[in-house]
Each structure stands twice: as C-alpha cells, then as structure tokens.
Amino acid sequence: MPSPLPWQSGLAPGAELPAGFLLRPALEVARGLLGYRLVSTIGGRRTSGVIVETEAYDGPNDPASHAATLRGPTKRNAVMFGPAGFSYVYRIYGMHWCMNVVTGPEGDAGAVLLRGLHAMEGQKVMKQRRGCEPLSTGPGRLCEALGITGELYGHDLREEPLRLQAGWAVAHDMVGISTRIGVSAAADWPYRFYVLGASGVSRHPGPTKPSATATEGSQE
C-alpha cells in the first residue's frame, strides 16, 4: 500500500517558516516547499491547501526565467530580484494568473512557481471561484481557487490576506522530479518537484520518476 500523505496524520504543524528558509537557491526551496501551506483570506473567505507541486526558476542564468533579460530588472520582473518571501504574480495567455515565491539573496532573482495545491479548507469557495473541477491543479487554477490576482504582486507572504506557512515534512521517497511543463527554453532541466500520489498534481506530458535521492536540490 502507498504511504499515507503527511497531512493525513491530522497533526497540525506550526505556522512560522524556519529562519532563512526562503533565502536559499530556488532549486532548494522548490523541493523544500512541498508540504508547506498557502492560506488565503482574500475577500474575507478562508481557503488553504498544501503545496504539492512546484517548479524552480533560477534567475538570469536560467533561460526559462522571466529574469533572463539583458535589461536586468523590468517593471514586470522587478520583485523577483528580492527580497525573498514576496509574491511574484503575473498573467499568462492574457487570462490566467500565476504565482511565484521569491527566493534567495537579494539581487539573485530566484523564484518558485506554485503549480499544484492539495485543497484543505474552503473547497466550496474554491469551487464557486473556479466553477468546475479540478480545484487547484496547475498554476492558473490554483490562483483562481484562492482568489489570487495581480493585486498581490509584491505581497509580503508573512502577512494577510495571503500567507505562506510551514507544513509537513515530505520524505524523499514520496517526491518525484521531472522536467518543467510548458517551457521551450531549458525544457530538459529537471526543476519540477511533486508529491507522489497527491491530489492537485498536474499531469506531465513526458516521463517522470520518483526520486529517493531528491535533495535540496518560461514560467508559463
């Protein structure tokens, strides 16, 4: 039988992020965020979930990152250059919002895209916002379910109405690693992390694999 997911234990974790957690490189934070919680009180309605899928975008040296521009910081990507712990929210295809968590030392422009959430609270509200299932599989659906829009660009994720909180540790043998989804540049980089068997994880168009050695290892 598959191992139970950590949050199925019913034991509530503490809320505070470990000191320095988001100051690490994006690749390490992308793995580390699995099992953490995103809590929204946007519009006075509480929704939350466990992060089960992420993708790392590693600053100007990553061709798929929005920071990979000869112009350096722009109006769109400025928040990516730090400090860590703020939200980088942008729109794709002119219709869907996506959210990243800014990581690393100030000036490095690292970010982690939140791709999938296991819904924990407020599923009825999420369904009203989405209008259909699935609720929070994929970055656009995740933002819609939690009410995240461009108004939260540059939001401090320690503050209401959108908070990133500590969660459950996810063992290495429960983590899968794959190439990223929907990018053309650096498409073969294994920068996507996900919790095996969790609801909220996207389907990957190519091969994926579990990794017992998953270490701290175009944002479309």
Show me where the domains of the chain are located. 21-205
Q: What is the pLDDT of residue 209?
A: 53
Residue 206: how many other CB atoms lie within 10 Å: 9
Helix (H, G, I), strand (E, B) or coil at 198: coil
Q: What is the pLDDT of residue 26?
A: 96
Which tens digit of pLDDT belongs to each residue from 196-218?
999 999 887 654 555 544 433 34
21-205 CATH fold: 3-methyladenine DNA Glycosylase; Chain A (3.10.300)
CA distance 85 to 100: 10
Which tens digit of pLDDT belongs to each residue from 146-177?
999 999 999 999 999 999 999 999 999 999 99
Peptide bond into 18 cis (omega under 30): no
* Rg of the chain over all Cα atoms, to the nearest angstrom: 16
CA distance 90 to 97: 6
CA distance 14 to 168: 9
Q: What is the pLDDT of residue 204?
A: 75
Q: Is 31:214 a contact under the CB 8 Å cutoff?
A: yes
CA distance 158 to 163: 5
- Percentages helix, strand, coil for the chain (3-state, rounded to 5) are 20, 25, 50
Q: Which two tokens stand for residue 11?
A: 């034991």
Which tens digit of pLDDT belongs to each residue from 111-149?
999 999 999 999 999 999 998 888 899 999 999 999 999
CA distance 139 to 113: 8
Backbone φ/ψ region at 40: left (φ over 0), alpha (ψ -120 to 50), beta: beta
The DSSP element (H or E) to which 163 belongs, if any, is strand 162-165
CA distance 108 to 28: 14
- Whether residue 32 has pLDDT greater than 90: yes
pTM of the model: 0.89
Q: What is the pLDDT of residue 15?
A: 82
